[in-house]
Structure 1
Amino acid sequence: MIEVKDLKKSFGDTQILKGITTSFEKGKTNLVIGQSGSGKTVFLKCLLGLFEYESGSISYEGKNFSELSRDEKTNLRSEMGMVFQGSALFDSMTIAENVMFPLRMFTKQSKSEMEDRVNEVLKRVNLDDAHKKMPSEASGGMQKRVAIARAIVNRPKYLFCDEPNSGLDPKTAIVIDNLIQEITEEFNITTVVNTHDMNSVMEIGEKIVFLKNGLLEWEGSSETIFRTDNEAVTNFVYSSELFRKVRKMYLEESE
């Protein structure tokens, strides 16, 4: 579990995060949503330890990040997997080499052990025959699956995804959503996903955190978001025509 208490972060005189308190449970897909400028990306980078924050705390399994030693912080980061918005694969490496990269960086495994693990995770994301391909030879959906394989190759306790469906067609986006949720449950990972995709909210939003202007405006699940009367939330999520239709059907069934 990740616990966040009264988190504040500023850049110069501009306060981006204004006191966020929430938690993210293990084995669940936790979604962070909000308009551009709401603080989602800064929040995610604070969780990853990439940004230092002025006050508040972030605890991982009860351990306060700011109180950890340098070595303890390094060890914690090795337990984090990250799926970047643009996949961020190394163009000069094959798919297998991309996936192996975290193993080379954080472990002392033998080459054969690393190869076995790479084979295992590529099979898990249905890319059994993609080892020797270059990223440029892979479709957008394949690249996302490679990014997921790389993120989980080191058996992380925490998985962070920044707009994982960005640039994907709706059908492929659903595949990626399902894969993230399956891996979260299968390996009992604490997963945090930054997203604008309302389909993701409906399909895999076991917990949803809505940020507005650096504040936690609302939190709940994909079911409770249909019933909320929070105007900021409804203005954001119901701008999606699909979401409006689904909400209408959901309310009619609940009557």
Structure 2
Amino acid sequence: MIEVKDLQKSFGEAHILKGITTTFEKGKTNLIIGQSGSGKTVFLKCLLGLFDYEEGSIAYDGHIFSKLTEDEKRNMRAKIGMVFQGSALFDSMTIAENVMFPLQMFTKQSKSEMQDRVDFVLKRVNLPDAHNKMPSEASGGMQKRVAIARAIVNKPRYLFCDEPNSGLDPKTAIVIDNLIKEITEEYQITTVINSHDMNSVMEIGEKIVFLKDGLKAWEGSKETIFRTDNEVVTDFVYSSNLFKKVRKMYLEENS
């Protein structure tokens, strides 16, 4: 579990995060959503330890990150997996080398142990024969699966995903959503996803935090988001006619 209390972050005179308090639960897909400029990317980078913040705290399973020593912070980072928006694979490395990179960085495993782990995670993301391919030879969907394999290769407790469906067609996006949800449940990871994709929200949003102008405007689940009367949320979520129809059907069926 990740617990956030009264988180505040500014850049100069620009107050970006204005006292966010929430929790992200273990074994669930936790989504951060909001319009551009809402603060969700800054929030994610604070959670990752990439940005310092002026007020508040972030605790990973009870350990407040800002109070850890440098060695303790390094050990904590070894427990974090990250799926970047553009996959961020190393072009000069094979897929297997990309996936092995965190093991080389954070562990003292033997080469054979690392190879066994790489074999396992590539098989888990349905890429059992992709070891020797270069990233340029892989489709967008394959690259995302490689990025997920790399993110989980070190058996993380926490998984962060920044717009994991960016640039993917709807069918492939569903595959990636389902893969992330399956891995989260299978390994009981605390997964936090920064997303603007409402399909993802409705598909896998077990916990949803909606940001507006640096504030937490609403939180709930994909079920409760159908029933909320919060106008800020409904204006964002149901801006398309499709989701308006889905919501209407849901409310009629559950009235």
TM-score range (shorter-chain normalised) is over 0.9
Runs of 4+ off more than 2 Å = none
Identity %: 83
**SS in structure 2 of the partner of residue 133 of structure 1:** coil
* Residue 84 of structure 2 is aligned to residue 90 of structure 1: no
Aligned to 1:167: 167
Q: Name structure 2 gaps, 5 residues minimum.
A: none
**Separation (CA, whole Å) in 2 of partners of 1:167 and 1:245:** 26
Aligned to 1:144: 144
What per-residue deviation string (whole Å, max 9, x for no partner) do you get for residues 26-60 of structure 1?
A: 00000000000000000000000000000100001
Aligned to 1:250: 250
For residues 1-255 of structure 1, the aligned pairs below 5 Å read 1-255=1-255
**Separation (CA, whole Å) in 2 of partners of 1:105 and 1:250:** 48
Superposed displacement of residue 242, structure 1: 2.7
CA contact (8 A) 1:94 1:135 kept: yes
Q: Name structure 1 gaps, 5 residues minimum.
A: none
Superposed displacement of residue 19, structure 1: 0.3
What root-mean-square deviation, in Å, do the aligned CA atoms of Structure 1 and Structure 2 show?
Answer: 0.6
**Separation (CA, whole Å) in 2 of partners of 1:52 and 1:59:** 14
CA contact (8 A) 1:209 1:220 kept: yes
Superposed displacement of residue 210, structure 1: 0.1
CA contact (8 A) 1:117 1:153 kept: yes
Deviates more, 1:243-252 or 1:230-239: 243-252
**Separation (CA, whole Å) in 2 of partners of 1:242 and 1:199:** 11
What per-residue deviation string (whole Å, max 9, x for no partner) do you get for residues 133-188 of structure 1?
A: 00000000000000000000000000000000000000000000000000000000
CA contact (8 A) 1:161 1:193 kept: yes
Query: How many residues get paired?
Result: 255
Superposed displacement of residue 244, structure 1: 1.6
TM-score of the superposition, structure 2-length normalised?
0.99
Deviates more, 1:243-252 or 1:108-117: 243-252
Superposed displacement of residue 240, structure 1: 2.8
**Separation (CA, whole Å) in 1 of partners of 2:13 and 2:72:** 31
**Separation (CA, whole Å) in 2 of partners of 1:140 and 1:241:** 29
**Separation (CA, whole Å) in 2 of partners of 1:145 and 1:249:** 34
Superposed displacement of residue 245, structure 1: 2.0
Amino acid at match of 2:155: R
**SS in structure 2 of the partner of residue 86 of structure 1:** coil
CA contact (8 A) 1:198 1:240 kept: no
